[in-house]
Amino acid sequence: MNRTFIGAVLVVAASAVAGAQTPTIRYDRSAERTVAGTIRSVAAFPADDGTIGVHLDLRTSEGMIAIHVAPAMFVGQENFWFFADEEVIVVGAPVAGGGAILARTVQKGSTVLVVRNEDGTPRWSSKADGIDGCGVNHLPVMRTTLF
């Protein structure tokens, strides 16, 4: 085997692994639903590149639901913030294969944060939707508040 062929094989293999680590998250508008509840905790998960994804653990009448919001930078640019014990209404779609929800809008009082367009595409400027829909490719993190 020559070195060029081995190098090409390694590049293709690395690309396949990288692709497997960052699955494409699809927002399913037909599955969209509205949930209301109290924020139990706000979680910020960092990625290697310094971006931070915002997640909410929401206590609802159905139980605890994880909400994937958006990158923290986008939330801040929209002059929005979250605190534990706040009441919110989230419109979003379930993440395929899980109990979490990708937020399209989050309403707090009379103020609404719109994080996705009507078709579900993110409003933040990024080429990716992140590893779990929050807009950031962070490592999976245990969420102890859901139990």
CB atoms within 10 A of CB 84: 12
Local structure of 14: helix, strand or coil? helix
CB proximity list for 120: less than 8 A, separation 6 or greater: 26, 27, 28, 29, 93, 102, 104
The stretch 90-94 carries a mean pLDDT of 96
- CATH homologous superfamily, domain 29-141: DNA polymerase B, N domain, beta-barrel (2.40.50.590)
Q: Where are the domains of the chain?
A: 29-141
Q: What is the pLDDT of residues 26-80, one digit of tens each?
A: 889 999 999 999 999 999 888 777 778 899 999 999 999 999 999 998 999 899 9
